Structure 1
């Protein structure tokens, strides 16, 4: 049986991914001594790497002349109340070095830099997300012992789950997790050419990069479902995209290309084929909705497979475990798309809805029978 994927293209992608991951990277971490101790320690630890491909320099802003390294791939400044932080960030950017300003004092850091004449781009200031849980913790602490001047006023309740409050934001467990996620997303966006190498070296980059890869591939496969009109012509393209996605996710999580990756690819191809079978069944039941069903399967199937791969690699991979994750993702896609198609078909009457449900049920039963052999 011929697999619905271009093996040569998959192997080429595997070689490219391995090469991209092994690219050397250079990072300078500049620490403002006035930054809260918890954020200093956290960012230093985040950039501690055992990778042989990463060179990390730790430099304290102690009043000496600031000279950025133009050979750096990025710089990270752990910011406190030093008014020179904005100037240091500007000097790094002028040297062509993308610069992240990590802080638990986002409003103060931005205001101080602006007042000193070196405003920091808003996108470069990275701080913990102020969820309701984090707000509850820091606002209670602030009420008993204000951390920074009262000129910023009393803490305000969160709006849209992310607002500024009394600073600094203490790095609780949840706050550390959101800071890592935002730092990782910043690195993935600012260092696109070497982001696999960054993920290999720094664990906090892995999940944000993997999620971005999944989202981009899902959108791409939705477009494939819309554009390919010949029955079955979209499956090889979608499956190749998903295979490339899996290789990038596995590389981001530090997995080398070996026999295990091949077996994981086989499981993913099986999941993709199963989702495509369901799409054919539903398209046959409601032909007028065929384009929508294929796009929905392309998007939701890729999302489900990609997120299953992320959870799999994050939790300690085994091939049997991956097969379970793919099977669970497949079943979710089948249920979701069948429900969507049935709802859309309702406008065409009860007979159309019954046909969709019957076709979906037949597809699921057939797939389970095949997998049980």
Structure 2
């Protein structure tokens, strides 16, 4: 069973919308308390370097004046290891409307934050990897600009990609379990995988160029292989065939997502492949012209 034209068009539209989501403005406010350690300052300074002109990071010091974040702020980050006015400053920032997270080396230094909420949280760490991984997940759970944040701040890309892969995998797992007609789930799953590819490309800052056609071709070949393997397994599974289809759909999509992440992280150079494709197209055009005009050939 083929992939319907309307599904392809919807995937193209999704690509345009994903690209637009990755380009939306992102505003991060960083407030540095006098007690912030060099570890916290250096970790955030290195992590929050925008990769595009659509992102802006504002840095201010917390002092005697009331703390305030601009109206367009998406998230406020406070660096502090505890101070007399810290709680007061945090309350002032929460009132501004954007989610606020305090970064510290120990939770003991920020005793007034006991539980994370939608608008306020605490991350205490002395390990940079743990600090940034936790911060990435905290921000992505509280914003609708996941693609834009990940495209601008690379330390968020793995966390954002995991969310996309998990969503697509669970969706295709359900599709495999619920579609009872043999082959009917193939176009639905493939389109979902194409959508996942477009989202991951945006997260890793990969533009919508001809190279994405290679990625799409790889996904289509993997989907065909999964379909062929599923048919063989379903014949042997009997009444449990829906479980086989569900597992293949979910795990297969997860595997494709992980492979795409590795591909995008390594920033593979497609120039040689592009040259080979261009050469092949040129030779085909030459053959067509030669057949149409044998005298000139």
CA contact (8 A) 1:282 1:293 kept: yes
Aligned-partner Cα distance in 1 for 2:83–2:211: 50
- Is 2:16 aligned against 1:15? yes
Q: Which runs of 5+ in 1 are unaligned?
A: 129-168, 170-174, 321-373
Match of 1:236 among 187, 190, 211: 187
Q: Deviation above 3 Å: which 4+ runs of structure 1?
A: 1-5
Partner of 2:152: 201
5 Å-filtered alignment, 1:169-318, equals 169=126, 175-191=127-143, 193-318=144-269
What is the TM-score normalised by the length of structure 1? 0.68
Q: Aligned in 2, Cα 1:50/1:294: closer, same or farther, shift over 3 Å?
A: closer
Aligned-partner Cα distance in 2 for 1:127–1:213: 27
Q: Which runs of 5+ in 2 are unaligned?
A: 272-297
CA contact (8 A) 1:263 1:319 kept: no
Q: Aligned in 2, Cα 1:224/1:65: closer, same or farther, shift over 3 Å?
A: same
CA contact (8 A) 2:237 2:244 kept: no
- Deviation string 1:48-86 (CA, Å, 9 cap, x unpaired) is 224200111101112222222232111111121214333
- Deviation string 1:136-191 (CA, Å, 9 cap, x unpaired) is xxxxxxxxxxxxxxxxxxxxxxxxxxxxxxxxx3xxxxx22222211111121111
Q: Aligned in 2, Cα 1:4/1:77: closer, same or farther, shift over 3 Å?
A: same
> What secondary structure does 1:91 align onto?
helix
> What secondary structure does 1:66 align onto?
coil
Partner of 1:125: 122
Q: Aligned in 2, Cα 1:28/1:264: closer, same or farther, shift over 3 Å?
A: same
CA contact (8 A) 2:40 2:104 kept: yes
Moved more, 206-215 or 41-50: 41-50
CA contact (8 A) 2:154 2:204 kept: yes
Query: What is the CA distance between 1:120 and its match in structure 2?
Result: 5.7
Aligned-partner Cα distance in 1 for 2:16–2:221: 23
Query: What is the CA distance between 1:318 and its match in structure 2?
Result: 4.2
- Deviation string 1:81-138 (CA, Å, 9 cap, x unpaired) is 2143333333222222011222222x22331xx2xxxx3643621234xxxxxxxxxx
> What secondary structure does 2:76 align onto?
strand
Q: Aligned in 2, Cα 1:65/1:239: closer, same or farther, shift over 3 Å?
A: same
> What secondary structure does 2:182 align onto?
coil
CA contact (8 A) 1:90 1:120 kept: no
* CA RMSD between the two structures: 2.2
Query: What is the CA distance between 1:2 and its match in structure 2?
Result: 4.7
Partner of 1:72: 73
> What secondary structure does 1:17 align onto?
helix
Aligned-partner Cα distance in 2 for 1:292–1:50: 43
Aligned-partner Cα distance in 2 for 1:110–1:122: 13
Aligned-partner Cα distance in 1 for 2:227–2:130: 36
Aligned-partner Cα distance in 2 for 1:272–1:90: 51
CA contact (8 A) 1:127 1:182 kept: no
- Bigger relative contact order, structure 1 or 2, given CA contacts below 8 A and separation 6+? 2
Query: What is the CA distance between 1:253 and its match in structure 2?
Result: 0.6
5 Å-filtered alignment, 1:309-348, equals 309-318=260-269
